[in-house]
Structure 1
Amino acid sequence: METKKMSTSLSENMNYLNDYLSVGTNFDIVYRVIRIGGREACMYFIDGFCKDELMQKMLQYFMDIKEEEMPGSAHEMSKTSLPYVEVDLKDDWDQITYFIMSGVFALFVDGYDKCLLIDSRTYPARSVSEPEKDKVLRGSKDGFVETIVFNTALIRRRIRSCELRMEMLHAGNSSQTDIVLCYMDTRVDHNFLNKLKQRISEIQVDALTMNQESLAECLYKKKWYNPFPKFKFTERPDTASAQILEGDIVILVDNSPSAMIAPTSIFDIVEEADDYYFPPITGTYLRLSRFLIAILTYFMTPTFLLLMQRPEWIPSGFEFIMVKEPTNIPLIWQFLLLELAIDGLRLAAVNTPNMLSTPLSVMAALVLGEFSVNSGWFNAEVMLYMAFVAIANYTQASYELSYALKFMRIINLILTAIFGVWGYIAAVVLLILAIATNKTISGKSYIYPLLPFNLKQLSKRLFRYRLPGSRE
């Protein structure tokens, strides 16, 4: 498709831009006509994106240029008469309008066949404080923010290598969302990298309205019904940098304070930064305990339900786990109601003002705790096991993994209540198949190094070893 080029006539360029950008309607799109070295010129920018002090100095410099000092071309002016670092030349209207809408300062000079694009933009941004979800007991306390340039700088700060690549792409016909692929050129799988870039270039959507989730759904369209996550999300630049050094690709999306890591196996998702900020023994304990707790959150309530159906299977000495009070509501309905109630409390906590969070938490604990048991709605044993499951879910940094286990646990509860032991077995088989048949975005095994089996890599996934080069 042939691209439309700008004219050397300033009036024609202004007429085109004023109409295309609807300058008369959009109050925040500002243009100003000035005179530079005896030539008419016009600048366009987005109010709020440009640095006022810098623009004031640039204007003063432009107005001080004498007619005999005025360069004859845009290329010459960019080399000799622009006291700024980031300057680009474009004559394609699509690219020019894209940069203007991104906040770049555009300068048109009568007689020049190219537009001077001065990247003096600044975005409203919050501080790079520690993320609320990916907190660590020890380690750095900075986190990604919504401004993509800040995020790339946080990674560059940790990887000072010329092999690190930051490749910019765009997606969305209207939003033109910036997407950055971060990878080590000598360590990345270039076949997968090329496939990923091709998939992003082929995305046909009007806008990435949900940022990373929209991008993830566009990149991975098959097996959408499998709840286990296909990407690892992190708001920690140290975690993202570590994955880049291991040969993975980190995807940054503008306006999103987290990074997508691909390809990702289930072992990658379970890992956390605390595993590496502590000595090997402590890191191994934290990692194995997280694996064990994840397994318990799935098996605890369905196993209890199965044992209540088959009391004769309860081992000797564990008879105390039996329900002692009368059961007014079947156990399966108690478990399902509490699964829904816990999510309701979680959503309420997100939307509760901070000043009310403590009293409402106390009220919820009383109502759903002691009063619900005393009223006969729930049995104390059911409340105990569901409380463990609800709290244990927060040991996982990945929301997607905790909800995947939740969905599979609910399926197990329902099948166990209907079909007994055979339903329990079928649900466990379904869980194994859901994990084993899931594929990473690169098409590799989701449970590597279990399948295909690699003992050395599996040992590294389960145990925290000393760093290479450490002295014995």
Structure 2
Amino acid sequence: MFRKMSKRTAGGGGDPSAAKRSIDPHLGENLDYLRTIMGQSPDITIREFEYGQTGRQIAVAYAEGISDRPTVDAFVLKVLAIDEAHAAPEGAKDAKPLLNFIKTNATAIGEISVECEWKAVILSVLSGDTVIFVDGSKDALVCGTRGGKARAITEPSSQVVIRGPKDGFTETIGANVAQVRRRIRSQNLWLETIQVGEQTHTDIVIMYINGIAKEELVQEVKRRLQKIDTDAILESGYIEQLIQDDAYTPFPILYNTERPDTVSGNLLEGRVAIFVDGTPFVLIAPATFGMFFQSAEDYNQNFEAASLIRMLRFSAYFISLYVPSIYIAAITFHQEMIPTQLIVSLAAQRQNVPFPAFIEALIMEASFEILREAGLRMPRAIGQAVSIVGALVLGQAAVQAGLISSAMVIVVSITGISSFATASYDLALSARIIRFCMMAASGFLGFYGIAIFSFIVLGHMCGLRSFGTQYMSALTVFDAKDQKDLFVRLSWRNQLTRPRQADERNRVRQSEPKPDPAGEGHP
């Protein structure tokens, strides 16, 4: 399935000459070279035997752990070494006819190819395929036997829903592609493959729906992936950072998900999905700001509830971004804007606090971030308990010691809870970064600082692009049709067209529903 090589592929482990070296007709030379270039690694298994009645030596090589051992044993080794029904006829005793006979008659493998260079052979072995050498032949057969141990399909841990599918992507790229294929049974669902990384040769799949995704978008995604020149790709985050339009921004430019239904929905809207082998997180391009407030669950329940919850997410994001800064500005520069009874209460609480409001908020926010990070990194059995108990104990002790006011504890708690309500972890992380800068601006200039910094951030967001699509396109380029799934989600009856990034020739999603001819009185 994945045969395309990256431009830096040297193929031969630590020997660059393998990139141009051809297979030797002598079987012994080939096996010695394979053992040498693999560093005599014990997980590289080589099985030598004499094929049938031909008297010709053949050898099978594969890597333990990443090859599907039952497939190798049942459909390669057993057939070649034991099964007399597949013995070569008299005319196939020479090397080349014997190789062709094995390819066409003696292997029950669906994916099989002929290779003549070592770089392809070595990469195939290291990818989990099985290679068959025939003494006297300058070619080798590569049988698709990739497999080995893999994590079972489970519910995604980062995007949990109440109503919706419970399956999530795994670290196996073939299983991830199959989960989307199972949902979109269309001949227009096209895949293209590429391998990136001189040392890792990581398989990457570009998936899109032909006719819905714009051709220029697909070509741009392929162009950026083909330009990557690096040693290793270990996770989709590497790809995200290497192909995004702007590297210097706290906002996520590409959307990532481990839910197959989310990928399927975005493909049907004209976007492109990028699968990376070895990670359950799939990238989606292009991305806009509004996408990060959407959840897969929004589309599985009635639109009234989904719209309300989505507006709550928007509100929670802005609460997590602005509440500490507003408190600092009001308590430091704009006391006249606070009601009299409230300012008296706040002044009484802050009477013994030795720090200004900005330093007080900075201490509390930094402590909260440390507790949150500690809860994530500790074992799950105790991480959540430690973070909750630590926040309660530290907050109560700080208030009793007179280091922090009670109002500041409330402000930081509301901010922290609101940050957890954001649907996307990456977007919530951007709010955590910007919040500290916003607090500094409010600590020096009050509400004027908040306003100035907000305009700077908004201008930065309006200047962002995601594969040519404006990051704030739903607001900067107003289109009433694109507002149906932004702040609120209208009923599926009103979702007649796809978003603007879809191909103009296929913008219609569904036909307009016709009125019920039976009338209201029909049971």
TM-score by length of 1: 0.93
**Residues 94 and 404 of structure 1: is their aligned pair in 2 closer, same or farther, counting only changes over 3 Å?**
same
Aligned residue in 2 for 1:171: 196
Question: Equivalents in 1 of 2:307, 2:514: separation in Å?
Answer: 19
Q: How does 1:71-470 map to 2 (within 5 A)?
A: 72-209=97-234, 211-220=235-244, 223-308=246-331, 309-314=333-338, 322-325=346-349, 326=351, 327-357=353-383, 359-440=385-466, 442-467=467-492, 468=510
Structure 1, unpaired ranges of 5+: none
CA distance in 1, matches of 2:103, 2:189: 28
Aligned CA distance change for structure 1 residues 437 and 323 (closer, same or farther; 3 Å): farther
Give the number of aligned pairs.
467
Deviation at 1:54, TM superposition (A): 2.9
Aligned partners of 2:153 and 2:167 also within 8 Å = yes
SS in 2 for 1:44: strand
Is residue 52 of structure 2 the alignment partner of residue 29 of structure 1? no
Corresponding letter in the other structure for 1:61: V
Q: State the partner residue of 1:68.
A: 89
**Percent of pairs with identical residues:** 25
Structure 2 unaligned blocks of 5 or more: 1-6, 8-18, 493-509, 516-523
Q: CA deviation at 1:333?
A: 1.1
Contact 1:133–1:397 at 8 Å: present in 2 too?
Answer: no
Q: Offset of 1:77 from its aligned partner?
A: 2.7
Deviation at 1:17, TM superposition (A): 1.9
CA 1:304–1:181: 2 relative to 1, 3 Å: same
1:197 CA displacement = 1.2
Could you say if the C-alpha distance between residues 330 and 177 of structure 1 is closer, same or farther in structure 2, counting changes exceeding 3 Å? same
Cα distance, 1:315 vs structure 2: 5.5
The more displaced of 247-256 and 183-192 is 183-192
Give TM-score scaled by structure 2 length. 0.84
The structure-2 alpha-carbon separation of the partners of 1:456 and 1:55, relative to structure 1 and needing over 3 Å to count, comes to closer
For the Cα contact (< 8 Å) 1:369–1:383, is it kept in 2? Answer: yes
Judge conservation of contact 1:50–1:103 (CA < 8 Å) in 2: yes
Q: CA RMSD in A?
A: 2.2
Q: Letter of the 2:348 partner, please give it.
A: K
CA offsets, 1:16-73, max 9 Å, x none? 3222222x2x111111211113221111111112333333323222123435265715
How many angstroms does 1:229 deviate by? 0.6
Contact 2:374 2:387 in 1 (8 A): no
Instruction: State the distance in 1 between where 2:298 and 2:486 align.
Output: 11
Structure 1 runs of 4+ aligned residues shifted over 4 Å read 315-321, 468-472
- CA–CA separation in structure 2 for the residues paired with 1:199 and 1:403: 26
Residue 389 of structure 1 aligns to which amino acid in structure 2? T
Q: Which amino acid aligns with 1:449?
A: A
Task: Report the Cα offset of residue 362 of structure 1.
Answer: 4.7
Name the aligned partner's letter for residue 89 of structure 2: E
Cα distance between partner residues in 2 of 1:456 and 1:60:
61
The letter for the 1-side match of 2:186 is S
Identify which range, 371-380 or 454-463, moves more after superposition: 454-463
Q: Deviations over 1:161-203 (max 9, x none)?
A: 1111122111110011111111111111221211221221221
Mapped contact 1:177–1:253 kept (Cα < 8 A):
yes
- Give, in whole Å, the separation in 2 of the partners of 1:471 and 1:329: 66
Shift of 1:91: 1.7
Aligned CA distance change for structure 1 residues 414 and 86 (closer, same or farther; 3 Å):
same
Map Cα deviations across residues 296-318 of structure 1 (whole Å, 9 max, x no partner): 22121111111112111236886
1:17 to 10, 28, 34: 34
8 A contact 1:275–1:283 mirrored in 2: yes
1:228/1:321 CA distance change after superposition, 3 Å: farther
Quickly say closer, same or farther: Cα 1:191–1:348, change in 2 above 3 A: same
Report the residue type matching 1:103 in the other structure: G
- Match of 2:476, SS state, is coil
1:59: which partner in 2?
A: 77
* TM-aligned CA deviation for residue 403 of structure 1: 1.7
CA contact 1:44–1:100 (8 Å) conserved in 2: yes
- Could you tell which deviates more after superposition, 337-346 or 70-79? 70-79
Over 3 Å counting, the alpha-carbon distance change for 1:341 and 1:182 in structure 2 is same
Which one-letter code corresponds to 1:74 in the other structure? L
Write the letter of the residue equivalent to 1:35.
E
The letter for the 1-side match of 2:110 is: V
CA distance in 2, matches of 1:115, 1:288: 60
Deviation at 1:419, TM superposition (A): 2.0
CA distance in structure 1 between the aligned counterparts of 2:72 and 2:347, rounded to whole angstroms = 74
Deviation at 1:261, TM superposition (A): 0.6
How far apart, CA to CA, are the structure 1 residues paired with 2:401 and 2:514? 63
Deviations 1:227-262 (A, max 9, x none): 111111111110011111111111111111111111
| Inter-partner Cα distance in structure 1 for 2:326 and 2:384 | 34
Matched residue SS, 1:103: coil
